[in-house]
């Protein structure tokens, strides 16, 4: 499984998609931060203003709006379709899956490496864009990330988004007949909640849970717990179930 | 190794692309109105022009607080109308406030926006280091064969 993951992480096709996602997301995050005119209303002594401004700064950390989600979902769907469907289309998979490993383990390692790539392609440009704009206030950034507990929530936020996108695409890839269908299907499914304005599915539900947790709660631990509580079913449980179904399907379905 | 190269190359490309995007965004001034207190997150450094008008004889205090250094960068007692300017030396949050008994409105306008030296150093540093690392990796790989 480790060797399989190494193959996938070094695959040039996957890395081209990775670079596409990395650069496009970085640019979008950056231009989102430059037109930022975030304001906060608070009154009180200076300490309260300092902590409120650290919190507001934490809330400006790049997250997935409509534009960013488009690129993010496209990158995820492309990565997973390329990894899981393309080798089956080109008959390369026959030699891979005939190795003495179970099918589900190959598919799981592909899903895990897609998650690693997508996670890196979103988290690194997010921090890069943030530092390229607000790099001259290290004290406040440190206060926002550690004192206000944004780092933990932010990492969980991206992990959830990545998990959701990869599992939806993996399930579609296992069900569909070829790469094209898999790509089209997963983009449609990932995009549907955005177009239909469904507030009970990701990305809206994860975004809202994050925002709510960090604006209503005061202590970092409470914030993380509230965030997990608000997004548990659709942000964690649903993707894990979908990934499980995809793994079971991979055992049932013949490789070709 | 290819993954590392991809990350380095993307970092270099983002660093190059950031400048034209920012140049476009910096031409627009930011403006806002302060009633009692208002914090603003400014995405670049610049010059803030403050102006307020009140009836003659109204006394109030205008204050601009910088949360990064934890000090007020402007604190001025004013009577009647007030015009002032203050340098915003770094990007990030600033807190503008008016202390008064009777309501006074103040307009804030941020012009002459530019990225601060620290931010530029970070960009050049990160971009340059990634470029050098990428070059070093490519050179080593070339020599191995």
Per-residue pLDDT at B76: 84
Predicted pLDDT at A164: 93
> Residue A130 and residue A158: Cα distance in Å, rounded?
15
For residue B61, the cross-strand partners are B77, B99
The answer to whether the CB atoms of B14 and A40 lie below 8 A apart is no
**Which of A19, A33, A42 lies nearest to residue B6, judging by beta carbons?**
A19
Q: Between A35, A52, A136, which is nearest B116 by CB?
A: A136
Phi-psi category of B90—alpha, beta or left, where left has phi over 0 and alpha has psi -120 to 50?
beta
Q: What percent of chain A stands above pLDDT 70?
A: 99
A88: closest CA among A186, A176, A188? A176
Residue B142, pLDDT score: 84
pLDDT of residue A103: 81
Q: Do A36 and B41 touch (CB under 8 A)?
A: yes
Indicate the Cα dihedral angle A211, A216, A221, A227, nearest 10°: -40
Work out the minimum CA distance from B94 to partner chain A, whole angstroms.
8
Give me chain A's average pLDDT, please: 87
DSSP string for A175-215: HSSSHHHHHHHHHHHHHHHHHTT-TTSTTHHHHHHHHHHHH
Q: B interface mutation test: which of A49, A115, A117 has the most B CBs within 10 A?
A: A49
pLDDT, one tens digit per residue, over A11-68 is: 888 899 999 999 999 999 998 888 767 788 887 788 888 888 888 888 888 888 888 9
Contact check, Cβ <8 Å, B21/A15: no
Contacts of B93 in chain A (CB under 8 A): 40, 53, 56-57, 140
Q: What does the pLDDT read at residue A36?
A: 65
* Cα angle value B85/A136/A34 (rounded, 5°): 75
Query: What residues of chain B, 22 to 51, have a C-beta less than 8 Å from chain A?
Result: 22, 25-26, 28, 30, 32, 36-41, 43-45
The total number of structural domains in chain A stands at 1
Q: Which residues of B touch A18 (CB under 8 A)?
A: 3, 6
Interface contact flag, B3 A10, Cβ < 8 Å:
yes
What per-residue confidence (pLDDT) applies to A231? 85
B3 touches chain A (CB under 8 A): yes
- Average pLDDT over every residue of B117-135: 92
> Which chain A positions have a beta carbon within 8 Å of B113's beta carbon?
none
Q: What is the pLDDT of residues B19-47, one digit of tens each?
A: 998 888 888 888 888 888 888 888 888 88
* A34: chain B residues, CB-CB within 8 Å: 21-22, 25-26, 43-44
Asked whether the beta carbons of residue B2 and residue A12 sit closer than 8 angstroms, the reply is yes
Question: Which residues does chain B have within 8 Å of residue A45's beta carbon, measured at their own beta carbons?
Answer: none
pLDDT of residue B98: 86
CB pairs under 8 A between A and B: 142
Taking contacts as CB-CB distances below 8 angstroms, the residues of chain B near A125 are 10, 14
pLDDT along chain A (256 residues), means of 10: 81 90 92 81 81 85 88 92 84 75 85 91 92 88 86 90 92 89 92 87 86 84 85 89 90 75
Q: What is the pLDDT of residue B145?
A: 63
**CB-nearest partner of B90 from A35, A56, A137:** A137
Helix (H) or strand (E) holding B111: strand B105-114
Which fold, B2-144?
Jelly Rolls (2.60.120)
pLDDT at B125 over 90: yes
Least CB–CB distance from B65: residue in A46, A57, A125? A46
User: Residue A168 is encoded by which pair of tokens?
Assistant: 């939806």
Structural domain harbouring A50: 2-252
Q: What is the pLDDT of residue A256?
A: 59
Q: Grade residue B59 by pLDDT with cuts at 50, 70 and 90.
A: confident
Examine residue A213 and say whether the peptide bond preceding it is cis (omega within 30 degrees of 0): no
- Mind listing the pLDDT tens digit for each residue in B60-90? 888 888 888 888 888 888 888 888 888 888 8
Within A11-149, residue ranges assigned H as helices are 12-34, 46-59, 66-81, 87-89, 93-97, 103-134, 138-142
Pick A37's closest partner by Cβ from B30, B67, B70. Answer: B30
pLDDT digits (tens, 9 = 90+) for B91-116: 888 888 888 888 888 888 888 888 88
Integer CA distances (angstroms), A30 to A15, A25, A39, A214, B86, in order = 22, 8, 18, 22, 26
ipTM: 0.87
């Amino acid at each position: 499984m480790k060797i399989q993951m190494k193959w996938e992480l070094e695959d040039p096709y996957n890395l081209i998609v990775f670079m596409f996602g990395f650069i496009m997301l970085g640019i979008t995050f950056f231009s989102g931060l430059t037109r930022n005119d975030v304001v906060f209303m608070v009154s009180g002594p200076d300490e309260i203003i300092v902590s409120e401004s650290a919190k507001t700064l934490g809330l400006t950390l790049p997250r997935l709006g409509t534009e960013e989600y488009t690129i993010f979902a496209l990158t995820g769907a492309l990565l997973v379709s390329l990894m899981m469907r393309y080798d089956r289309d080109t008959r390369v998979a026959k030699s891979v899956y005939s190795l003495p490993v179970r099918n589900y383990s190959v598919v799981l390692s592909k899903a895990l490496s897609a998650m690693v790539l997508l996670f890196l392609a979103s988290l690194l440009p997010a921090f890069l864009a943030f530092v390229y704009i607000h790099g001259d206030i290290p004290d406040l950034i440190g206060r926002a990330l550690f004192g206000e507990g944004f780092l933990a929530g932010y990492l969980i936020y991206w992990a959830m988004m990545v998990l959701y996108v990869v599992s939806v695409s993996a399930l579609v890839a296992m069900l569909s007949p070829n790469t094209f269908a898999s790509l089209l299907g997963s983009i449609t499914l990932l995009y549907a909640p955005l177009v239909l304005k469904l507030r009970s599915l990701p990305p809206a539900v994860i975004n809202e849970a994050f925002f709510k947790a960090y604006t209503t709660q005061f202590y970092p631990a409470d914030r993380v717990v509230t965030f997990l509580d608000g997004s548990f079913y659709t942000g964690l449980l649903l993707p894990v179930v979908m990934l499980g179904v995809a793994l079971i399907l991979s055992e049932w379905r013949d490789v070709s | 190794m290819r993954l590392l190269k991809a990350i380095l190359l993307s970092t270099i490309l983002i660093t190059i692309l950031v400048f034209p995007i920012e140049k476009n965004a910096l031409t627009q001034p930011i403006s806002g109105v302060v009633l009692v207190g208002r914090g603003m997150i400014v995405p670049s450094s610049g010059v803030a022009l403050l102006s307020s008008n009140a009836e003659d004889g109204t006394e109030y205090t205008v204050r601009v607080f910088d949360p990064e250094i934890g000090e007020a960068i402007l604190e001025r007692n004013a009577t009647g109308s007030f015009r002032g300017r203050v340098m915003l030396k770094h990007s990030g949050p600033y807190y503008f406030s008016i202390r008064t008994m009777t309501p006074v409105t103040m307009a804030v306008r941020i012009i002459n926006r530019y990225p601060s030296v620290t931010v530029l150093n970070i960009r050049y540093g990160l971009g340059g280091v990634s470029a050098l690392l990428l070059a070093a990796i490519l050179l080593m790989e070339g020599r191995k064969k």
